Amino acid sequence: MSCLQKSPWIIHYDASSCNGCDIEVLACLTPLYDIERFGIINTGNPKHADIFVITGGVNEQNKVVVKNIYDQMPEPKVVVAVGICAASGGVFRECYNISGGVNTVIPVDVYVPGCAARPESIIDGIVTALSILEEKRIAMKKRQIGAVQ
Amino acid sequence: MDLIHIIYGLSFIVFGPLIGGIIAGLDRKMTARMQGRVGPPVLQPFYDIIKLFSKEKIAVIYSESFWVLAYLIFIVITGMLFFAGGDLLLVIFALTLAHVFLILGAFASSSPYAHIGAERELIQLMAIEPMVILTAVGMYQVTGSFFVTDILSHAGLLVLVLPGVFVGFVYVLTFKLRKSPFDLATSHHAHQELVKGLTTEFSGPTLGMYELAHLYEIVMLLGFVYIFFGMVPAIGILAVIIVYFLEIFIDNATTRITWQPALISAWIVTLVFGGLNLVALYLL
């Protein structure tokens, strides 16, 4: 395991979620689940984060915000879409202002299903994201070496 | 200054972050246990720093990484001067200069959150500087020298003649270690208020340098606590452990306060504990 996998810092954003998934994300930080034992810190700052945990179906107003947060994160980075709204728009899919899932705005690496997603499945999703993060780190390193040569 | 002191100074470059990292790791573990959590591994600070150096470097303004590098270098120089038994006044001024570089780094970008953090860091410097200088003055009053080597070789425990200065120094240590209630400038727990304050705009290797400098700083500041007990090393180390445990306890037991009470309380403590102690020394 590389140090990147041992120290994934997350940023959590609520892209027009009903708050159900957000409460479950925050529940992961409580003593019962304690994601800090994996070295995970909820940073609240895209420039420090490795994993973008996003909930909700993304509406027209926060499309720009989601894109902005994603662009501000330094490589390597992964996106974890938490809850069914983040995956497809869920029950809000047909709403006039919902874009229908996070992947309509930014590329998503891991989908965590559920309404609301349970803390166990969120932790499982983030741990899955760690291996993708490692792949991206190696790919980034190869690109850098390639650029030098 | 003889060879052994130069070796002490140089070994700080290597052992400073190693010891500091383990202290910070134990700190996080103990904080987690106080909150009823399992907590991260003890080596977590090392994982964090190595990770940060492997990340992409994003900077709005490139000068900020230069300022943070200057901060790191000056913190290392400060610690080397201290552990080589150098002049306490020089140590204090170099430490202040290092923090000025950090503040300039935060002011380099136009981010409002970084600016709030930098302004609060300036206020913190104002709050703690008088007490830190009084510490050096108090030690000079007792031992007749500003050099750490002379202070350490002084017969008798300094803390017995400087109890007020010691209390004052431990009070401002909370600012320096960035612990509640004085984690105003940057904190892991102030998302809504500060985002990340002072370090908001630092990313990847720049943040790594900042974190590394903080490890050096922890060790150097605990060295300050140690010299109050310099005559008996066993008591000194015990005192450092107790003081750091108290800092962790206070960190977990209090909430962040606004800058006004932070500044005023620091000055009152400086005046009452530090000032009265020095007056008593002068009169007796």
Q: Is the pLDDT of residue B201 over 80?
A: yes
- Residue B271 is predicted with a pLDDT of 92
Q: Chain B interface, mutation test: which of A7, A9, A33, A137, most B Cβ atoms within 10 Å?
A: A7
Q: Which of A36, A41, A140 comes nearest B39 by C-beta?
A: A36
Buried b (16+ CB within 10 A) or exposed e, A89-105: bbebeeeeebbbbbbeb
Contacts of A44 in chain B (CB under 8 A): 191, 195-196
The answer, for A36 touching chain B at a CB cutoff of 8 Å, is yes
Among candidates B138, B140, B126, which has minimal Cα distance to B167? B138
Query: From residue A82, how far is each of A15, A22, A63, B272 by CA, in Å?
Result: 11, 9, 16, 54
Cα radius of gyration (chain B): 19
Supply the pLDDT for residue A90: 85
For B6-28, how does the pLDDT look when each residue is reduced to its tens digit (9 = 90+)?
888 888 899 989 999 999 999 99
Q: What percent of chain B has pLDDT over 70?
A: 100
Tens digit of each residue's pLDDT (9 = 90 or more) over A44-77: 889 999 999 999 889 888 899 999 999 999 988 9
CA distance B141 to chain A (A): 46
CB atoms A36 and B32 under 8 Å? yes
CA distance B69 to B283: 45
**Would you put residue B252 in left (φ > 0), alpha (ψ -120 to 50) or beta?**
alpha
Residue B78 has pLDDT above 80, yes or no: yes
Distance from CA of B36 to the nearest CA of A (A): 6
Residues in chain A: 149
User: Sheet holding A78-82: strands in order across?
Assistant: A41-42, A9-14, A51-55, A78-82, A110-112
| Closest to B114 measured CA to CA, from B38, B201, B203 | B201
3-state secondary structure of A82: strand
Q: Could you tell me if B59 lies within 8 Å of chain A, comparing CB atoms?
A: no
Spell out, as residue ranges, where chain A has pLDDT lower than 50: none
Span A3-148 CATH architecture: 3-Layer(aba) Sandwich (3.40)
- The predicted model scores a pTM of 0.90
A4 near B CB under 8 A: yes
Average of pLDDT values for B88-93?
92
ipTM of the shown complex: 0.88
pLDDT number for residue B204 = 85
pLDDT score of A149 = 67
Query: In this predicted structure, what is the pLDDT of residue B1?
Result: 60
Please indicate if any CB of chain B lies within 8 Å of the CB of A48: yes
Cβ contacts (< 8 Å) between B25 and chain A: which residues? none
Q: In this model, does residue B246 exceed pLDDT 80?
A: yes
Does B56 sit within 8 Å of A7, measured CB to CB?
Answer: no
Question: Average pLDDT for residues B194-209, to the nearest whole number?
Answer: 87
Contact B46/A at CB under 8 A: yes
pLDDT, tens digit (0-9, with 9 covering 90-100), for B147-182 = 988 888 888 888 888 899 999 999 999 999 988 888
